[in-house]
Chain A
């Protein structure tokens, strides 16, 4: 169990640019989540995958945001035409589908700064 890995750790971009983040979940976990956390707030749910299927998207996920998990393993989160309001920590988590409500295991996050 090497934990959930996210890359990059930090990303600074200019407004209007596109950015892509990557998440590698714990290998045996088939559930993957993306959350966003702004300063002084708790993480907010963005989207959820079970294997390669994206089963739920939050209303927070505007049309500029897209997430994929093509082979049911790693996932990417892309933000197009970034805005300053997109500046936040983007957290990825994974969990097992064994048992009820298995705990989510989080990565260290990608901190996005839009200038």
Chain B
């Protein structure tokens, strides 16, 4: 069975601090994809990144970076120099590679509150 665990329910930081959101996954698939989505108060889930299991290279996009470690089944997300606009619920998700449906299995999310 596939499962995504986001152990951090809520994190509160002060603006400009760095913050890391943890994601641990379980899957029996040898190939799979991992995703991060952001859900601001408006409710719409916004796609941030997709990473396939072939590629363990870390990725940086502006203030965002992702650390994928297959050995520990983790796909952690770091925001550098956080801003108030980063306040949202962040979801990690997993899908089977090339699966018939491409459906996502989501974690329970981490609520990030960035205080000014």
Contact = CB atoms under 8 A, between A and B. Distances in A.
B102 A102 contact: yes
A101 B43 contact: no
A48 B96 CA distance: 15
Interface residues on B, range: 20 to 34
A91 B37 CA distance: 14
A56, A91, A104: most-surrounded residue (chain B CB, <10 A): A104
B103 A101 contact: no
Given A41-B109, A45-B103, 13 more contacts: A42-B91, A45-B105, A55-B100, A89-B43, A91-B45, A100-B98, A101-B50, A101-B95, A101-B97, A102-B102, A104-B104, A106-B37, A109-B44
Interface of A: 31, 33, 40-45, 48, 55-56, 89, 91, 93, 95, 100-109, 111
